[in-house]
Protein backbone atom coordinates (compact mmCIF):
# COMPACT_ATOMS: atom_id res chain seq x y z
CA UNK A 1 0.00 0.00 0.00
CA UNK A 2 1.42 3.38 -1.05
CA UNK A 3 0.17 6.74 0.15
CA UNK A 4 1.52 10.28 0.12
CA UNK A 5 0.63 12.88 2.67
CA UNK A 6 1.03 16.64 2.08
CA UNK A 7 4.36 16.30 0.30
CA UNK A 8 6.31 19.43 -0.59
CA UNK A 9 9.39 19.05 -2.78
CA UNK A 10 11.73 21.53 -4.40
CA UNK A 11 15.23 22.33 -5.57
CA UNK A 12 16.95 24.88 -3.32
CA UNK A 13 14.36 27.55 -2.58
CA UNK A 14 12.26 26.71 -5.63
CA UNK A 15 9.14 24.70 -4.71
CA UNK A 16 8.11 22.28 -7.48
CA UNK A 17 5.56 19.99 -5.82
CA UNK A 18 3.08 21.58 -3.47
CA UNK A 19 0.87 19.71 -1.01
CA UNK A 20 0.82 16.39 -2.87
CA UNK A 21 -1.73 14.10 -1.29
CA UNK A 22 -2.24 10.61 -2.72
CA UNK A 23 -4.92 8.32 -1.28
CA UNK A 24 -3.76 4.77 -0.47
CA UNK A 25 -3.01 2.72 -3.57
CA UNK A 26 -3.41 -1.04 -3.14
CA UNK A 27 -0.62 -3.41 -4.17
CA UNK A 28 -0.81 -5.16 -7.53
CA UNK A 29 -1.65 -2.00 -9.47
CA UNK A 30 0.07 -0.23 -12.34
CA UNK A 31 -0.23 3.51 -11.70
CA UNK A 32 0.31 5.90 -14.60
CA UNK A 33 1.80 9.26 -13.63
CA UNK A 34 0.67 11.81 -16.20
CA UNK A 35 0.98 15.54 -16.82
CA UNK A 36 2.46 18.14 -19.12
CA UNK A 37 6.19 18.71 -19.61
CA UNK A 38 7.75 20.32 -16.57
CA UNK A 39 4.76 19.71 -14.24
CA UNK A 40 6.88 17.69 -11.78
CA UNK A 41 6.49 14.00 -12.69
CA UNK A 42 10.21 13.14 -12.52
CA UNK A 43 10.57 15.22 -9.37
CA UNK A 44 7.80 13.19 -7.71
CA UNK A 45 9.37 9.91 -8.81
CA UNK A 46 12.80 11.00 -7.53
CA UNK A 47 11.37 12.00 -4.18
CA UNK A 48 9.62 8.60 -3.90
CA UNK A 49 12.99 7.01 -4.72
CA UNK A 50 14.75 9.03 -2.03
CA UNK A 51 16.94 11.00 -4.44
CA UNK A 52 15.40 14.30 -3.35
CA UNK A 53 14.58 14.94 0.30
CA UNK A 54 11.06 16.40 0.66
CA UNK A 55 10.76 19.71 2.50
CA UNK A 56 7.51 18.56 4.14
CA UNK A 57 5.19 15.58 4.25
CA UNK A 58 5.30 11.79 4.33
CA UNK A 59 5.46 8.88 1.92
CA UNK A 60 4.08 5.67 3.39
CA UNK A 61 4.77 2.24 1.92
CA UNK A 62 3.26 -0.74 3.75
CA UNK A 63 2.97 1.28 6.97
CA UNK A 64 6.62 2.45 6.87
CA UNK A 65 7.43 6.13 6.40
CA UNK A 66 9.97 6.21 3.55
CA UNK A 67 11.00 9.76 4.37
CA UNK A 68 12.45 8.45 7.65
CA UNK A 69 14.58 5.78 5.94
CA UNK A 70 18.09 6.28 4.64
CA UNK A 71 18.90 5.52 1.01
CA UNK A 72 20.17 2.01 1.75
CA UNK A 73 17.05 1.01 3.72
CA UNK A 74 14.81 2.40 1.01
CA UNK A 75 16.73 0.59 -1.74
CA UNK A 76 15.69 -2.73 -0.16
CA UNK A 77 12.13 -2.25 -1.40
CA UNK A 78 12.10 0.70 -3.80
CA UNK A 79 13.59 0.56 -7.30
CA UNK A 80 13.83 3.59 -9.58
CA UNK A 81 14.63 3.51 -13.27
CA UNK A 82 15.54 6.97 -14.58
CA UNK A 83 14.71 8.34 -18.04
CA UNK A 84 18.17 7.52 -19.34
CA UNK A 85 20.79 5.05 -18.19
CA UNK A 86 24.43 6.09 -17.64
CA UNK A 87 26.07 6.66 -21.04
CA UNK A 88 29.02 4.29 -20.95
CA UNK A 89 29.03 1.20 -18.77
CA UNK A 90 31.39 -1.47 -20.06
CA UNK A 91 29.58 -4.52 -18.66
CA UNK A 92 27.90 -7.37 -20.44
CA UNK A 93 24.08 -7.34 -20.28
CA UNK A 94 23.99 -10.46 -18.11
CA UNK A 95 26.61 -9.06 -15.69
CA UNK A 96 24.77 -5.77 -15.38
CA UNK A 97 21.54 -7.56 -14.38
CA UNK A 98 23.50 -9.73 -11.92
CA UNK A 99 25.00 -6.58 -10.34
CA UNK A 100 21.49 -5.12 -10.03
CA UNK A 101 20.13 -8.35 -8.51
CA UNK A 102 22.88 -8.45 -5.90
CA UNK A 103 22.61 -4.75 -5.08
CA UNK A 104 19.74 -5.20 -2.65
CA UNK A 105 20.12 -8.79 -1.55
CA UNK A 106 21.30 -9.64 1.92
CA UNK A 107 24.19 -12.17 1.94
CA UNK A 108 21.84 -15.03 2.91
CA UNK A 109 19.69 -14.40 -0.17
CA UNK A 110 22.48 -14.20 -2.73
CA UNK A 111 22.01 -17.72 -4.08
CA UNK A 112 18.57 -16.78 -5.40
CA UNK A 113 20.13 -14.28 -7.82
CA UNK A 114 21.05 -17.16 -10.05
CA UNK A 115 21.76 -17.35 -13.72
CA UNK A 116 18.49 -19.13 -14.50
CA UNK A 117 16.35 -16.40 -13.01
CA UNK A 118 18.24 -13.73 -14.93
CA UNK A 119 18.11 -15.62 -18.22
CA UNK A 120 14.38 -16.30 -17.74
CA UNK A 121 13.73 -12.57 -17.28
CA UNK A 122 15.88 -11.61 -20.28
CA UNK A 123 13.89 -14.13 -22.28
CA UNK A 124 10.56 -12.67 -21.08
CA UNK A 125 11.78 -9.26 -22.19
CA UNK A 126 12.85 -10.67 -25.57
CA UNK A 127 16.54 -9.80 -25.10
CA UNK A 128 18.10 -13.15 -24.14
CA UNK A 129 20.10 -13.03 -27.39
CA UNK A 130 21.81 -9.86 -26.10
CA UNK A 131 22.97 -11.38 -22.80
CA UNK A 132 26.68 -11.52 -23.73
CA UNK A 133 26.74 -8.17 -25.55
CA UNK A 134 28.31 -5.09 -23.92
CA UNK A 135 25.86 -2.44 -22.72
CA UNK A 136 27.73 0.37 -24.44
CA UNK A 137 27.27 -1.38 -27.80
CA UNK A 138 23.46 -1.52 -27.60
CA UNK A 139 20.81 0.65 -29.25
CA UNK A 140 18.73 3.08 -27.16
CA UNK A 141 15.73 0.73 -27.08
CA UNK A 142 17.86 -2.30 -26.22
CA UNK A 143 19.45 -0.35 -23.32
CA UNK A 144 15.99 0.61 -22.08
CA UNK A 145 14.97 -3.07 -22.02
CA UNK A 146 18.12 -3.96 -20.08
CA UNK A 147 17.26 -1.18 -17.61
CA UNK A 148 13.85 -2.80 -17.13
CA UNK A 149 15.51 -6.17 -16.53
CA UNK A 150 17.78 -4.55 -13.91
CA UNK A 151 14.72 -3.06 -12.20
CA UNK A 152 12.48 -6.16 -12.33
CA UNK A 153 15.14 -8.63 -11.16
CA UNK A 154 15.20 -6.81 -7.82
CA UNK A 155 11.52 -7.62 -7.15
CA UNK A 156 10.77 -4.37 -5.34
CA UNK A 157 7.66 -3.45 -3.40
CA UNK A 158 7.56 -0.08 -5.16
CA UNK A 159 8.74 0.12 -8.77
CA UNK A 160 9.30 3.60 -10.23
CA UNK A 161 9.79 3.90 -13.99
CA UNK A 162 10.38 7.25 -15.68
CA UNK A 163 9.17 7.07 -19.30
CA UNK A 164 10.23 3.42 -19.73
CA UNK A 165 8.73 3.21 -23.23
CA UNK A 166 10.36 6.32 -24.74
CA UNK A 167 12.82 4.41 -26.94
CA UNK A 168 10.70 1.32 -27.64
CA UNK A 169 8.89 0.37 -30.83
CA UNK A 170 5.14 -0.43 -30.81
CA UNK A 171 5.67 -4.14 -30.37
CA UNK A 172 7.98 -3.72 -27.36
CA UNK A 173 5.76 -1.01 -25.84
CA UNK A 174 2.84 -3.42 -25.76
CA UNK A 175 4.97 -6.35 -24.64
CA UNK A 176 6.65 -4.41 -21.82
CA UNK A 177 3.38 -2.99 -20.48
CA UNK A 178 1.78 -6.45 -20.47
CA UNK A 179 4.82 -7.87 -18.66
CA UNK A 180 4.77 -5.04 -16.13
CA UNK A 181 1.09 -5.59 -15.49
CA UNK A 182 1.68 -9.30 -14.94
CA UNK A 183 4.75 -8.86 -12.68
CA UNK A 184 3.06 -6.08 -10.70
CA UNK A 185 0.13 -8.34 -9.95
CA UNK A 186 2.11 -11.52 -9.33
CA UNK A 187 4.57 -9.83 -6.96
CA UNK A 188 1.97 -7.49 -5.45
CA UNK A 189 4.09 -4.41 -6.14
CA UNK A 190 2.90 -0.88 -6.78
CA UNK A 191 4.39 0.23 -10.11
CA UNK A 192 4.37 3.97 -10.82
CA UNK A 193 5.11 4.71 -14.46
CA UNK A 194 5.55 8.12 -16.10
CA UNK A 195 3.80 8.05 -19.46
CA UNK A 196 3.05 10.60 -22.16
CA UNK A 197 0.81 8.34 -24.24
CA UNK A 198 -2.66 8.53 -22.70
CA UNK A 199 -3.88 5.58 -24.74
CA UNK A 200 -1.13 3.38 -23.31
CA UNK A 201 -2.20 4.58 -19.85
CA UNK A 202 -5.85 3.75 -20.60
CA UNK A 203 -5.03 0.31 -21.94
CA UNK A 204 -2.40 -0.81 -19.46
CA UNK A 205 -2.78 0.97 -16.11
CA UNK A 206 -5.50 0.62 -13.51
CA UNK A 207 -4.85 3.74 -11.45
CA UNK A 208 -3.74 7.20 -12.45
CA UNK A 209 -2.20 10.35 -10.95
CA UNK A 210 -2.52 13.48 -13.06
CA UNK A 211 -0.20 16.34 -12.12
CA UNK A 212 -0.69 19.95 -13.10
CA UNK A 213 1.87 22.64 -12.24
CA UNK A 214 3.13 20.69 -9.22
CA UNK A 215 -0.30 19.79 -7.84
CA UNK A 216 -2.43 16.66 -8.11
CA UNK A 217 -5.25 17.62 -10.47
CA UNK A 218 -6.94 14.20 -10.36
CA UNK A 219 -6.33 10.71 -9.01
CA UNK A 220 -8.19 7.41 -9.10
CA UNK A 221 -9.20 4.75 -11.62
CA UNK A 222 -7.62 5.56 -14.97
CA UNK A 223 -10.93 5.90 -16.86
CA UNK A 224 -12.10 8.54 -14.37
CA UNK A 225 -8.90 10.57 -14.44
CA UNK A 226 -8.46 10.59 -18.22
CA UNK A 227 -11.42 12.85 -18.75
CA UNK A 228 -11.87 15.67 -21.28
CA UNK A 229 -12.07 18.41 -18.64
CA UNK A 230 -8.93 17.23 -16.88
CA UNK A 231 -7.03 17.01 -20.17
CA UNK A 232 -8.08 20.55 -21.09
CA UNK A 233 -6.68 21.81 -17.78
CA UNK A 234 -3.52 19.72 -17.67
CA UNK A 235 -2.51 19.75 -21.34
CA UNK A 236 -4.56 22.58 -22.90
CA UNK A 237 -6.15 20.25 -25.45
CA UNK A 238 -9.67 19.52 -26.64
CA UNK A 239 -10.03 15.78 -26.17
CA UNK A 240 -12.69 13.18 -26.86
CA UNK A 241 -12.60 9.87 -24.97
CA UNK A 242 -14.60 7.21 -26.76
CA UNK A 243 -15.03 3.46 -26.47
CA UNK A 244 -13.90 1.72 -29.64
CA UNK A 245 -15.38 -1.51 -31.02
CA UNK A 246 -13.75 -3.66 -28.31
CA UNK A 247 -15.00 -1.27 -25.62
CA UNK A 248 -11.43 -0.10 -25.03
CA UNK A 249 -11.43 3.65 -24.23
CA UNK A 250 -9.40 5.76 -26.63
CA UNK A 251 -8.37 9.43 -26.50
CA UNK A 252 -8.67 11.58 -29.61
CA UNK A 253 -7.23 15.09 -29.63
CA UNK A 254 -9.37 17.45 -31.73
CA UNK A 255 -7.38 20.61 -31.12
CA UNK A 256 -6.11 23.00 -28.49
CA UNK A 257 -8.50 24.38 -25.90
CA UNK A 258 -9.49 28.00 -26.22
CA UNK A 259 -6.93 30.29 -24.58
CA UNK A 260 -4.62 27.28 -24.21
CA UNK A 261 -1.06 28.16 -23.45
CA UNK A 262 1.85 26.10 -24.60
CA UNK A 263 2.74 24.30 -21.41
CA UNK A 264 6.54 24.39 -21.45
Ligand X SMILES: Nc1ncnc2c1ncn2[C@@H]1O[C@H](COP(=O)(O)OP(=O)(O)OP(=O)(O)O)[C@@H](O)[C@H]1O
Segment lying near ligand X (by CB under 6 A), choices 10-18, 64-72, 129-137, 221-229:
10-18
- The footprint of ligand X on residues 163-182 (CB under 6 A) is none
Shortest Cβ distance from residue 131 to ligand X (Å)?
Answer: 31
- The footprint of ligand X on residues 41-80 (CB under 6 A) is 41-43
Shortest Cβ distance from residue 74 to ligand X (Å)?
Answer: 19
Shortest Cβ distance from residue 173 to ligand X (Å)?
Answer: 17
Closer residue to ligand X, CB minimum distance, 151 or 234: 234
β-pair partners for 2: 25, 61
Shortest Cβ distance from residue 41 to ligand X (Å)?
Answer: 4
Q: Residue 32 interacts with ligand X (CB under 6 A)?
A: no
Q: Residue 221 interacts with ligand X (CB under 6 A)?
A: no
- Contact residue for ligand X among 22, 25, 30, 40 (CB under 6 A): 40
Query: CB–CB of 46/222 below 8 Å?
Result: no
Closer residue to ligand X, CB minimum distance, 11 or 111: 11
Q: Residue 145 interacts with ligand X (CB under 6 A)?
A: no
- Contact residue for ligand X among 9, 16, 151, 161 (CB under 6 A): 16
Shortest Cβ distance from residue 59 to ligand X (Å)?
Answer: 16
Q: Which chain residues interact with ligand X by CB under 6 A?
A: 11, 14, 16, 35, 37-43
Amino acid sequence: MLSIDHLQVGYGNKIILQDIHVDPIAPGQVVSLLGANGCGKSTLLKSLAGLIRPKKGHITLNHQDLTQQNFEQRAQHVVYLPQSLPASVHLRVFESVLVAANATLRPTQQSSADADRIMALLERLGIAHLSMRYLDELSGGQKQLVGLAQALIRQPTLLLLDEPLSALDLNYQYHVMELLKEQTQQQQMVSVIVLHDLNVALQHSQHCLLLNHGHILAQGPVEQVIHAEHLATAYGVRARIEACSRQQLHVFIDGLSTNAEVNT
